[in-house]
Amino acid sequence: MQRPLAALADETFDLIIVGGGIFGACAAWDATLRGMKVALLERLDFGAGASANSFKMIHGGIRYLQHLDLPRLRASCRERSAFLRVAPHLAHPLPIAIPTYGHGRKGKAFLGTGMLLYDLLTLDRNRGIADPARRIPLTRFLSREEILAEFPDLPSEGLTGAAVFADGQMYNPTRLTWSFVRSASEHGATVCNHIEVTRLLDGEDAREAAGVMARDLVSGEEIPIRGRCILNTAGPWATRVLAGTPGVTPPRTTFSRDTCFLVRRRFGSDLALAVSARTRDPDAILSRDARHLFLVPWRDWTLVGVWHVVYPRDADHLEITPEQLESYLDEINWAYPTLNLTPDDITICNAGLVPFGENDPDARDLSYGKRSVLIDHERQGECRNLVTLIGIRYTMARGDSARAVDLAARKLGFRTARPPTDRLPVHGGDFDHFDALVAEIRGRLPSGDAAVAESLAHNHGSAYGEVLDSARGPEDLEPIESTRVLPAQIRHAVRNEMALSLADVVFRRTDLATGGHPGDSVLDHAARLVGEVLGWNETTLTEQRAAVARRFDCLGNWLAAESLPKGAST
């Protein structure tokens, strides 16, 4: 895969999708399957914004039982099942324990009744999921002794046991986003990262756009891209895409900065743990006393979160203050006193902007966003061939993007039925059993390393052969020191996955730095491999290493800190 700048300038597209996060990626896959000529444009890198910084959960909607919002519960369950079907290498069940105390709303009877009702409402949750290891199990209950065996230092006063339900978890959100991008590309979509849409092009009709004007952020070249319809999926940057367009009013959307972080500790249990936070859900009809914070096993670390705060600043200035980080640590330590987490325990922070509910400025118990924002600008008396979709959460990307493409299809006169993207495997997802895939890969690795084989199976699935074919010799199939990443994966990312910077490679195409700093020598090795393919000089190598180093400052504006080498090409 190469960046198709010439094709962008020469073609007239049916649908131009602006924004290559998970919502734009799913929309491109869906629209391409309907026979549309699609262009997918991303200003940063595919999945670099909120998609990369999610809590890595695929929510099945159990929380909406508290709101008695059964349509939203059912929709979330359908989407979780869809991810488990179409991307079995990147999505798997995650068991979550909620400790129970006493006999009231914190007790086992109250919580268990709700969970069993959820089981009944989602009886079809495993339909079409071939691998038993990818199926969501029924609720189960633990005694006091059993939950203390899993978490011995859990606050024990009044503890009666725990209820355990399962949700979904992503192995790697950016690879999952990439799988949809790659699938769209393989079926004819023209996809390009590091290209910024600066404005809509005026059409002959004052109420229609003729396409978009874009700027290649590598060369600085301005490129007019022609299209019959435009789908704006730029998330918190969606208003910027529309700004300055005559007759179009950008949506007035409140955003939350959702924050979580990884810590070096890993509990002995494979269960995630929900602990009571200090705030309540003001929208809940049936609720326990407080919202939950989660301690979630993810690879070799524990993922902690999520904290929400109304964020009025520009999306390009996504920062966490020292005071906020201190308050987050204080709350999780209050909820689970024996943790005693400090800033030194944090390996990496994740934060992204998502639509939020309407709240008073001084509200403590915040109302969260409930649904994606979908706007048909024609119905507002504005641009006829413009649709905006601002996604609410990763889980809903496939279904909500299909609704947006439905709108675009009607405008374009496409009569093709909505494709079955809830059943069609995405790139790498065409296999039945994950363990069998790992064994197959292990047999093809010179080292036979089980951990490396499992990592390859997760990140590349049934397409792992592309990586092995990228190796220049046996040394490219030996993992880089203290990691599970092969040099061949780095070469493959640059040659075949549009990675243009070191950050693209280490944060979004491989596992090198998704969980924290892998060590200077590892980053030096990776930089040399990327630079070898892209022809970097020593100055560029130094600049790229510095840009990656800035990402590990939890309080820094890490998206703005990333830089592209000028004149790079693949």
pLDDT in tens, 66-95: 888 999 999 999 999 999 999 999 999 999
Judged on CB neighbours under 10 Å (0-12, 13-18, 19+), 189 is buried
Question: In DSSP terms, which residues pair with 169 in a beta bridge?
Answer: 57, 92
Return the pLDDT at 206.
Answer: 83
For 430-446, give the DSSP string. Answer: --S-HHHHHHHHHHHSS
CA 45 to CA 256: how far, in whole Å? Answer: 22
- Give per-residue pLDDT as tens, 315-372: 888 888 889 999 999 999 999 999 999 999 999 999 999 988 655 555 555 556 678 9
* Total count of residues recorded for the chain: 570
Judged on CB neighbours under 10 Å (0-12, 13-18, 19+), 118 is buried
Query: What DSSP state is assigned to residue 220?
Result: -
CA 46 to CA 193: how far, in whole Å? Answer: 6
212 φ, ψ to 5°?
-135, 155
Which residue type is seen at 488? A
Q: Which CATH number fits domain 5-50+174-253+371-412: 3.40.640.10, 3.50.50.60, 3.30.420.110, 3.20.20.110?
A: 3.50.50.60
Can you list the alpha helix ranges (DSSP code H) found in 137-280? 144-150, 173-186, 238-242
CB atoms within 10 A of CB 231: 28
Coil vs helix vs strand at 551 = helix
Q: Domain 87-168+254-355: what homologous superfamily?
A: D-Amino Acid Oxidase, subunit A, domain 2 (3.30.9.10)
pTM score, two decimals?
A: 0.95
Is 463 within 8 Å of 428 (Cβ atoms)? yes
Pick from 32, 42, 19, 29: nearest CA to 82: 29
For 500-512, give the DSSP string. Answer: -SHHIIIIIISSS
User: Which residues, given as ranges, of the chain have pLDDT below 70?
Assistant: 279-290, 357-369, 554-561, 566-570
**Residue recorded with tokens 């997802």:** 429
Q: Tell me the CA distances in angstroms from 155 to 32, 275, 337, one per residue in order.
A: 52, 10, 8
Query: What DSSP state is assigned to residue 556?
Result: S
Every domain of the chain and the residues it spans:
5-50+174-253+371-412, 87-168+254-355, 434-561
Can you list the alpha helix ranges (DSSP code H) found in 255-386? 322-335
Return the pLDDT at 104.
Answer: 77
Q: Which CATH number fits domain 434-561: 3.30.1490.100, 3.90.850.10, 3.30.830.10, 1.10.8.870?
A: 1.10.8.870
Return the pLDDT at 284.
Answer: 54
Is 471 within 8 Å of 486 (Cβ atoms)? yes
CA dihedral 338, 344, 345, 351 (to 10 degrees): 120
Q: How far is CA 461 from the centre of its chain?
A: 18
Return the pLDDT at 250.
Answer: 85
